[in-house]
Structure 1
Amino acid sequence: MSTLVVVKRHGRREAVIFVALLSECYSLKNVELKVPDAAERNVKVVLECHYKLERQATYHEELYQVKWYRGDKEFCRYEPRAVPPLKVFPIDGIEVSNETTGVKLTIIPRNRVTAEGQYSCEVTADSPSFQTQQVFAHMYVVGEYRDTYTVNLFPDLPKEYPEMTDLKRSYKLGSKLVANCSSEGSLPAANLTFFVNGNPARPQHIYHRVDGNSSSGLMSSYSSLQFIVQRRHLKKDMMIRVKCAAYIYMIYWKTVEKSAWFDYTPPTTSPSPWKQREEVAVNIKPKPTVGKTERVPGTNAAETAQRVIDVYGGRVAKENTVRFEFQRFSSGNFDLQNKFLGQPETLVYNEELKAIVDA
């Protein structure tokens, strides 16, 4: 910023001089307000307002004052040159502690409704700039909740630890693991997070639900974890550890953990294809009978031959062979050894042809 100085003599303008009184660069920088996301009712909380004043070429910037607001109402002011330097403008539900300094403001939220909301600090530099910057932050207050109709006090924080249900004692590879977690009676509703063997569970495996209780104004949170057990879930001790954490800002944090065994019972193996063929062959083998053989309804040599081919493959049986074996078994001959059947007798009636065949 510059100031224009005009010098006049005898009613006429004779000279125009620019005198630099203040550098155009800002000297008040990096104003920052640090406020916790949430504070607990009747517990001290510290709000911090940081700033930086830079030395200029012709002067050194100093602090003039810091104002603190809740919403649009000023409730505290700090002026280092004033006596006393700290001034408090009471607001119902906010108690300013004597531990307050220029940068740190210590308060005790007494009333949840009036203490919760937007806070801001306004920093003003001293003369000659009187530069001002204001920053904002929001703070929730958690504590007791008074029902308007019944005039009863309800705690905003859950009374109990979160509860985990439906986790079985053991699981096998490929089985489905289901675990449900709940945290009831809080305002706001508690956030639920699952951990599997110390690692956060995958978001696609978690389902959330929040319900409100109209009678007390409090809320309950429910979360379900579901996934298929795989080898990556197994550790050296063959355990699967599932933990559920319930938290409300940085004020409330409770966890519950349960473990399940990994059931490594080998699966029942099915018989080999050769074993299955033997079982089928035993079932289709005709039972030997002595004397008269009764025909089984619905079976014939062609069907039996086809069943033998289905089991052993290829053309290992023909309809004539099966019919012959049925007749042999019916007569009481159960010998299954291979025998040389010889060649049929050659019948040639022409003497010349017979001589050629015999040769």
Structure 2
Amino acid sequence: MAVPAVFARNSHGSNGVLFSSPIRPKFGSCGVVMILLFILPASSGIRIKEMQVPGIVKVGSTVQLACRYDLEGANLYSLTWWRGAEQFYQFSPSSADPVIIYDSPGIVVDVMKSEREVVVLHNISHATSGKYKCEVLEDYPSFEKDSEVRVMEVIDEPKSSPQLSVSKQQWSPGEELKANCTSPWARPPSELDWYINDVKIPAHHSLLVTEGERGWGMGFGMGMGVNDVGWTGPGGDGLSRTSRLTLVLRESHFSVGGRATLKCDATYKRAYHRSSKVHLITPGYRTAAPSQKLYGCAVTMVTGLWWSAVAALVPLVLVSGACEEPTFVDTVDPVQRICGT
């Protein structure tokens, strides 16, 4: 092994004596790294700084794909976009035709709005779903490259809110509540969650109904009961789902007046939110107590009579020029003086 030549201090203390010696200088790992960093030239290479591909998009929408890169002093040879194993876009600044678009199922490139770092797709369909890769390639002599991958999912939203039905309207604590919630057709199918008084009901209280099962018939306030479920709509992988809820009601579920709110949410990865709800009431529930209604009418009548009396007294006061303080019975509201104090 060759012995490196090093600078060292001799026994007389003079510097800069160059010698070759079998005595190997001791370098720690940090020292070796520092020497290599000093000797080797700094490497440069193209790299992708940011890649933007929307995770979930709706059928028929327009999306923008972005791939921003740093050349780090080099020149760009090409930027290409792939969906799966198929290339659909290429940008080569040094070519006679800088932009080349390749046919790919479900990919419709808006040429006028696409450029070096941005590609716009319109008329999104389910065929547009997949893994998208952006690849940037450095020009001669290195031809180094970098790439990133993102996934896009295309969905169909439900056209309406879920259909919620229960077997009856009045309930008592201790009874077993049975309810159905059916989401309209969606692709992929909606996720269904139950809430009572805005508190989520644990999933083990509900299950998804299989094809051919039915609900409990007519509901209330929400129209017809649940029909057959499990059918597939256009495209084959869409579904109308039904969730069946079974829950023993407790006194804590009802308010002081005897009402509870049952809600069903249809969602999919926060892409949309549809909700339906019904009110469950106890047999003694009333919207307003009769005494409250009478009291409200009495207040209105007393107040109306009082102001009628005031209106009748005003002309008398103006004619006589006197400012007398009439005597009133303190009823509902404090009575202010007619004349100034």
Q: Which residue of 2 aligns with 1:296?
A: none
Contact preservation (8 Å) 1:183, 1:222: yes
Quote the Cα distance in structure 2 between the aligned partners of 1:263 and 1:245. 27
Q: Which amino acid aligns with 1:68?
A: W
Structure 2 residue matching 1:259: 3-state secondary structure: strand
Q: Tell me whether 1:70 sits opposite 2:83 in the alignment.
A: yes
Q: What corresponds to 2:244 in structure 1?
A: 224
**CA distance, structure 2, for counterparts of residue 68 and residue 185 of structure 1:** 33
Change (3 A) 1:77 1:21: farther
Instruction: Name stretches of at least 5 consecutive residues in structure 1 with no aligned partner.
Output: 1-17, 143-155, 266-359
Give runs of aligned pairs for residues 1-359 of structure 1, distance below 5 A: 22-24=41-43, 28=47, 32-37=51-56, 39-51=57-69, 53=70, 60=73, 64-79=77-92, 85-97=98-110, 98-109=112-123, 111-113=125-127, 115-125=128-138, 130-142=143-155, 157-166=157-166, 168-209=168-209, 211=211, 212-213=230-231, 217=236, 218-235=238-255, 238-249=258-269, 252-262=272-282
Deviation at 1:180, TM superposition (A): 0.9
Rate the CA distance shift 1:91–1:173 in 2: closer, same or farther, 3 A. same
Give the partner amino acid of 2:203: P
Q: Does the 8 Å contact 1:33/1:120 carry over to 2?
A: no
Q: Say which is worse superposed, 124-133 or 251-260, in terms of deviation.
A: 124-133
State the AA in 2 paired with 1:221.
Answer: R
- The one-letter code of the counterpart of 1:28 is R
Using the TM superposition, give the Cα deviation of residue 243 of structure 1 relative to its aligned residue in structure 2, in angstroms: 1.8
Maintained 8 Å contact 1:158/1:185: yes
Higher relative contact order (CA 8 A, sep 6+): 2
Q: How many pairs align?
A: 228
CA distance in 2, matches of 1:263, 1:129: 82
Question: Partner of 1:204: helix, strand, or coil?
Answer: helix
Partner of 2:19: none
Bigger drift between 124-133 and 237-246 goes to: 124-133
CA drift of 1:264 comes to 6.4
C-alpha displacement of 1:258: 1.4
Which residue identity lines up with residue 138 of structure 1 in the other structure?
Answer: V
Identical residues among aligned pairs (%): 23
Which has the larger Rg?
A: 1
Partner amino acid, structure 1, of 2:53: K
User: Cα deviations across residues 19-42 of structure 1 (Å, max 9, x unaligned)?
Assistant: 9675358762655453323x3333
* Counterpart position of 2:9: none
Kept after mapping to 2: 8 A contact 1:210/1:219 = no
Q: Distance in 1 between matches of 2:98 and 2:244?
A: 55
Q: CA deviation at 1:84?
A: 6.1
Contact 1:165 1:179 in 2 (8 A): yes
**Does the 8 Å contact 1:33/1:121 carry over to 2?**
no
Summarize deviations over 1:75-122 as a string: whole Å, max 9, x none: 112345666654322324321123234443221245534x23222211
Secondary structure, in 3 states, of the residue corresponding to 1:219? coil
Gaps of 5+ in 2: 1-35, 212-229, 286-341
| Deviation of 1:178 (Å) | 2.3
Q: Pick which of 164-173 and 121-130 moved more.
A: 121-130
Residue 176 (structure 1) shift: 2.2
- Residues 263 and 275 in structure 2, CA contact (< 8 A), matched pair in contact too: yes
